Amino acid sequence: MPIPAADRPRRGASKSPAWVKWAFLLLVLAIAWLAFGEGLVQRASEAGQPLVKTAKAEARSAGQVAAALGASANGYIVAKKRAALSADAPGRIVEMNVEEGSVVKAGQVVARLYADEHAANLRRAEAEVEVARAAEVRMRLELDATRSAVQSARSAVPPLQQDLAQVGAARTLASTLRERAEKARADGVGTRDGLDRAHGELQVAEARVASAEARVESARQSVVEAEARMSAMEAAQVESSRRVDAALAGLELARATFDKTLVKAPFDGVVVLKDAEVGEVVSPNVVGGTSARGSVVTMVDFASLEVQAEVPETSIASVSEGASAQVYLDAWPDRAYPGRVDRIWPTANRTKATVEVRVAFLERDEKLRPEMGVRIVFAPKDAPAATVEARVLVPASALVRAEGAPFVWLVVGGAARRRVVEVGEGRAGKYAILAGLEGGEVLVLDPPADLADGAMLRLEER
């Protein structure tokens, strides 16, 4: 059946105008350019740029530079002479004379414990010594008087003996005269009166001899008695001296007991820790279940400060006893303290795989404090440790040694820039830069031989 004229499409109605197609095509191309065109251009431009690895120039302190250039280890400052002070007897603190940081001298009283009873015993012991010494003086005086009496008694004997000799001679004469009178009387020459007189004179002489003998014997007895008294006084003198010794021993005991309540510094040093306060009880034998403190203060001798370092076993071969070393404080890393390896432990720590080394300071100042962290750089045996200053460290692969002075390639704005540098000592793949860099610059590693100043670079992602 034929289609009605009204339902037939008009000629040319299905065709779009040509400009619409071109506009649509241009729109698609614009969108594609915006999405991919810039990247394609960049990739096309980068296709001719070298791909390089980079690293930053590292600004290091003197200690870090020295550690990178030599055998080194971390450590701490410790005190060779350190003591936690406590009383020799338990007691309550009644006086504290120091604080943290106090400088004390050997023998200085750091703290006092309650000691009224001990002080009273000490005063009594002192009084007993005085009494014993007074008794000894009295005994000495009495002994001296007795010795004088003995000397006097002894000196009285010789004159009496002389008198005895004289009266003995008189008796002998009287006896001779009587014998003559008796003979004369027997011969009829003498008289009775003469005989009686001679006999009376003999009796008088004999009486005088008896009296003289009695006086001599009395004097001798006096000497014996005086000597006996002197012996007794000498024994008493020895006893009084021993009493003085006993009193002095008692005084020493009382003083020692009293001194146990005084906490004294055993050496010159600095108080680094106060472990107790006034009113607390301290005891030298602290056990569980008690509130007593074990120590009063902790002090160290700053003249004995040294460095304790744990050197890895892999580096211990580079360390020798007596060798020089440089010590850098973590707090002040640009200052080097000269030192010397003092001791190397005879055993290793199997857990840490390290060997303990002690380094003695050859120079000290007020900056050194116990437990401060340090970095130690060791020098070979019989070689002085070189003094190192703060430097910039760069990898060896960043240095170019061609065309005269050494230089490096910097990455500035994506382009290569040549920078001449002054190179110092190198070790372990790094070199110290003495001049030319400040640290933080981005360097080209293993730069291509044909790299030109200003050339654009592609940086390898790390």
In this model, does residue 90 exceed pLDDT 80? yes
The CATH architecture of the domain made up of 83-114+264-299 is Beta Barrel (2.40)
- pLDDT bin (cut points 50, 70, 90) of residue 163 is confident
Stated length of the chain: 462
Distance CA(109)–CA(105), nearest Å, equals: 9
CATH of domain 51-61+389-459: 2.40.420.20
Residue 361 one-letter amino acid: F
115-124, 315-324, 344-353 — which is least confidently predicted?
315-324
Q: What is the pLDDT of residue 56?
A: 75
Task: Report pLDDT for 67.
Answer: 52
Q: How many Cβ atoms from other residues are within 10 Å of residue 69's Cβ?
A: 22
The pLDDT of 78-102, averaged and rounded, is: 89
Question: Could you tell me if 121 and 259 are in contact, meaning their C-beta atoms sit under 8 angstroms apart?
Answer: no
pLDDT score of 436 more than 80? no
Residue 369 has pLDDT above 70, yes or no: yes
Q: How far apart are CA 49 and CA 56, in angstroms?
A: 21
Query: Taking the complete model, does pTM exceed 0.75, yes or no?
Result: no
| pLDDT at site 317 | 86
Strand partners, 55: 443
Specify burial of residue 331 (Cβ count, 10 A radius: 0-12, 13-18, 19+): exposed
- 70 vs 231: CA distance, rounded Å: 86
The answer to whether 128 and 254 have CB atoms below 8 angstroms apart is: no
Could you give the angle at the alpha carbon of 326 between the alpha carbons of 325 and 330, nearest 5°?
135
Q: Is 90 exceeded by the pLDDT of residue 129?
A: yes
Integer Cα distance of 95 and 118 in angstroms: 16
- Residues 420 and 434: beta-carbon distance below 8 Å: no
Mean pLDDT calculated for residue range 316-338: 88
Residue 359: per-residue pLDDT: 95
Separation in Å, CA 325 to CA 314, 367, 368, 399, 445: 18, 18, 16, 29, 33
Helix axes 116-186, 192-259, angle to 10 degrees: 170
Kindly tell me if the per-residue pLDDT of 122 is higher than 50.
Answer: yes
Q: What are the percentages of helix, strand and coil residues in the chain, rounded to 5?
A: 40, 30, 30
Burial label for 163, CB within 10 Å (0-12, 13-18, 19+), is: middle
Q: Given this model, what pLDDT does residue 358 score?
A: 95
Which residues are within 8 A (CB) of 254 and not within 5 positions of it... i.e. 6 or more apart? 118, 121, 122, 124, 125, 126
Q: Is the pLDDT of residue 250 over 50?
A: yes
pLDDT reported for residue 65: 54
CB 355 within 8 A of CB 313: yes
In whole angstroms, give the CA distance from residue 258 to residue 89: 10
Residue position matching structure tokens 């990178």: 68
- Kindly give, in sequence order, each residue whose CB lies less than 8 Å from that of residue 397, ignoring residues fewer than 6 positions away: 445, 446
Specify the 3-state DSSP secondary structure of 123: helix
Domain boundaries, the chain: 51-61+389-459, 66-81+302-378, 83-114+264-299, 117-259
Residues 6 or more apart in contact with residue 206 via CB below 8 angstroms: 171, 174
The pLDDT assigned to 213 comes to: 87
362-389: b (≥16 Cβ within 10 Å) or e: eeeeeebeeebebbbbbbeeeeebeebe
pLDDT band, very low/low/confident/very high, at 440 (cuts 50, 70, 90): confident
pLDDT tens-digit map of 406-422: 877 777 777 877 788 77
Instruction: Specify the pLDDT at position 77.
Output: 94
C-alpha span between 176 and 193 (Å, rounded): 16
The dihedral formed by the CA atoms of 197, 200, 202 and 208, expressed in degrees to the nearest 10: -140
What is the CATH architecture assignment of 117-259?
Orthogonal Bundle (1.10)
List, for residues 253-282, the tens digit of each pLDDT value.
999 989 988 999 999 999 998 988 898 888
Is pLDDT of 40 > 50? Answer: no
Q: What pLDDT score was predicted for residue 372?
A: 93
Q: Which two tokens stand for residue 260?
A: 């146990």
DSSP 374-400: EEEEEPPTT-PPPP---EEEEEGGG-B
Q: Residue 81's closest CA among 330, 376, 298?
A: 298
CA distance 301 to 103: 10
pLDDT given for residue 114 in this prediction: 92
For the cut 90, the answer to whether the pLDDT of residue 251 exceeds it is yes
Over residues 427-445, the mean pLDDT reads 75
Quote the mean pLDDT of the chain: 81
Closest CA to 85 of 61, 103, 68, 109: 109
pLDDT of 329 above 80:
yes
Q: What percent of the chain has pLDDT over 90?
A: 27
Q: Which CATH architecture has domain 66-81+302-378?
A: Beta Barrel (2.40)
pLDDT of 12 > 70? The answer is no
Task: Return the amino acid letter for 78.
Answer: V
**For 168-187, what is the mean pLDDT?**
84
Enter the DSSP assignment of 187: T
Checking phi first, is residue 385 left (phi over 0); if not, alpha (psi -120 to 50) or beta?
A: beta
User: What separation, in Å, do the N-terminal and C-terminal C-alpha atoms of the chain show?
Assistant: 79
Cβ(77)–Cβ(371) below 8 Å: yes
The residue-averaged pLDDT of 352-366 equals: 92
Establish how many alpha carbons lie within 13 A of residue 313's alpha carbon, considering only the half-sphere containing its beta carbon.
Answer: 9
